[in-house]
Chain A
């Protein structure tokens, strides 16, 4: 994979999209809280004002993060694409790091409000599906018995974290081994 592709997709599009999703959520919550009637009447409870303040803090942090990441990514893409021989790829990558964020910013308030208004049907469906699978694994479909608790703990609290840790350790070990071989090869070349 070329350096430009790696920068564009792995350090650009994927993390920025994830941040964009979270920004949409926090902005949506903030906008719905901000439209409350108690604000112009100045009759909001302390709890409500605290919640509003907390949601605003989230909004500020994630906005700063997403803006700085996008600017850094655009700068890096421009810098790396300087050496790229393929003109088509050079133009597409440079244009997309400018145009796509602008489109995303323009659409942002509409998507944020829409997401905050409508319940996430897809997520609820996905959650309910997994609840049913876990109940079936536990031996009693449709019931929250001991089997469901055990299946839940074993799968999500034991197996998945063990898998994450073991693959992470394997990856780091292999990387170190490769770096060692690479340095040996470099020494031989010299």
Chain B
């Protein structure tokens, strides 16, 4: 099991290394951009959009 986790982890690291070489970012920068900026931003964005539609739904239901 531990070998599987290690292999999976290092495969992900390889993908990030490839991305970093391709886009002229350093490994740390590409990691920060993808996992610490873009992913949390998308989580917050879709959560807010969902809440916005939910509130809109409440208002529409009051009208019906």
Nearest neighbor of B29 in chain A, beta-carbon distance: A123
Instruction: Answer yes or no: A29 CB below 8 A from chain B CBs.
Output: yes
Instruction: Answer yes or no: A75 CB below 8 A from chain B CBs.
Output: no
**A166 and B64 alpha carbons, distance in the complex (Å):** 28
Instruction: Answer yes or no: A164 CB below 8 A from chain B CBs.
Output: yes
Known contacts A174-B50, A178-B56; is A157 also within 8 Å of B12 by CB? yes
Chain A residues contacting B46 (CB-CB under 8 Å) are 164, 167-168, 170-171
Chain B residues contacting A152 (CB-CB under 8 Å) are 9
Contact yes or no, A55 B61, CB < 8 A: no
Contact yes or no, B39 A156, CB < 8 A: yes
**A157 and B43 alpha carbons, distance in the complex (Å):** 13
CB distance from B14 to the nearest CB of A (A): 14
Instruction: Answer yes or no: A60 CB below 8 A from chain B CBs.
Output: no
**A120 and B27 alpha carbons, distance in the complex (Å):** 12
Contact yes or no, B39 A160, CB < 8 A: yes
Contact yes or no, A127 B9, CB < 8 A: no
**A150 and B6 alpha carbons, distance in the complex (Å):** 9
Residues of chain B at interface, number, CB under 8 A? 31
User: CB within 8 A of A164: which of B9, B39, B63?
Assistant: B39
User: CB within 8 A of B36: which of A26, A126, A182?
Assistant: A126
CB distance from B22 to the nearest CB of A (A): 8
Residues of chain A at interface, number, CB under 8 A? 34
Contact yes or no, B57 A174, CB < 8 A: yes
Contact yes or no, B24 A174, CB < 8 A: no
Contact yes or no, B50 A170, CB < 8 A: yes
Using a CB–CB distance below 8 Å, which chain B residues touch chain A? 2, 5-6, 8-9, 12, 23-25, 28-29, 31-32, 35-36, 39-40, 42-43, 46-47, 49-50, 53-54, 56-57, 60-61, 63-64
Using a CB–CB distance below 8 Å, which chain A residues touch chain B? 25-26, 29, 55, 58, 120, 123-124, 126-127, 130, 146, 149-150, 152-153, 156-157, 160-161, 163-164, 167-168, 170-171, 174-175, 177-178, 181-182, 184-185
